[in-house]
Chains A and B, each alone.
Chain A
Amino acid sequence: SQQGEEDPQALSIQEGENATMNCSYKTSINNLQWYRQNSGRGLVHLILIRSNEREKHSGRLRVTLDTSKKSSSLLITASRAADTASYFCATDGSSNTGKLIFGQGTTLQVKP
C-alpha cells in the first residue's frame, strides 16, 4: 500500500515563484526522502530527513518534517523551468527491510 500521500497532485507556477508540496504518511518512520523524476526517467534523490530532524536545507530546497502530524513538506524557492518534474516523498519505515514506500507524487510545471 502507498503510505505517502502527496498534495497537491499537480501544481503549475511561473518561473521565480516558490513551489510547496506536502506529504502525509501513516506509520512510524526512520526517515523520509524526497525524489524528483523527469518524465519517464529515473528517480533522483533530493534530500533525506531523519525522524529526529525538523527541517533541512539543500540549495533551493527546504524540507520540513512533523512526526506528530505525520507530514512533511518540500519547498522549492525561486523555481526554474528546469524544476519541471514529478516529486515523490518516500518513507523509510522501522521494519529494517529497507523498503521505501512512495507516494503518488506531485507533478510540478514551471512556466518560463
Chain B
Amino acid sequence: EAQVTQNPRYLITVTGKKLTVTCSQNMNHEYMSWYRQDPGLGLRQIYYSMNVEVTDKGDVPEGYKVSRKEKRNFPLILESPSPNQTSLYFCASREQVGDEQFFGPGTRLTVL
C-alpha cells in the first residue's frame, strides 16, 4: 500500500531533550516536506526536500533540522525542543512539484 509513515505518533517530552520524528514513504517520491499544524495558524511548512541531499527552509524552520540521505526517509530533528514547538506535525511527499501531496498520519508532540 502506498503510504507515508511517521513515528512516533504521539510524544511527550521535556524542554531541551533532543528528539527525532521519522518519516518514510514507499512511493519513490522525490519531493518531501514537513508541516506543523497549530490552532488558528493552520498548516505551515517547516522544511522541504526536492531530492536526496537537497533540503531547504520553509516558512517556520527555526528550531528544526532535517536530513535527506535516502530518497524514502526524511527525519525531522528537534535539537533542543521548547514548549512553543508543541504541535501536530505532518510529513508529506509528492512525486514532483505540481502533483498531489500525500500526508502521513501526523505526530502529536507535547514539549513540557
Residues of A participating in the B interface, judged by any CB pair closer than 8 Å: 2, 30-31, 33, 35, 40-45, 48, 88, 90, 92, 96-100, 102-105
Contacts and interface: CB of A to CB of B under 8 A. Distances in A.
B101 to A, nearest CB: 6
Q: Main SS of chain A's interface residues?
A: strand
A89 to B, nearest CB: 11
A31 B98 contact: yes
A18 B112 CA distance: 43
A44 B59 CA distance: 22
A45 B101 contact: yes
B94 interface: yes
A39 B54 CA distance: 33
Interface string B46-86: 00101000001011000000000000000000000000000
B48 A98 contact: yes
A103 B48 CA distance: 19
Interface residues of B, number: 28
B94 A98 contact: yes
Contact of A96 (B33, B59, B97): B97
A103 to B, nearest CB: 7
Residue with the highest number of chain A CB atoms closer than 10 Å, among B33, B45, B100? B100
Given A2-B42, A97-B56, A99-B48, A42 B101 contact: no
Interface in B92-112: 92, 94, 97-106, 108
Contacts of B101: 33, 45, 90, 100
Nearest to A30: B98
B103 A42 contact: yes
Given A92-B98, A96-B97, A42 B90 contact: yes
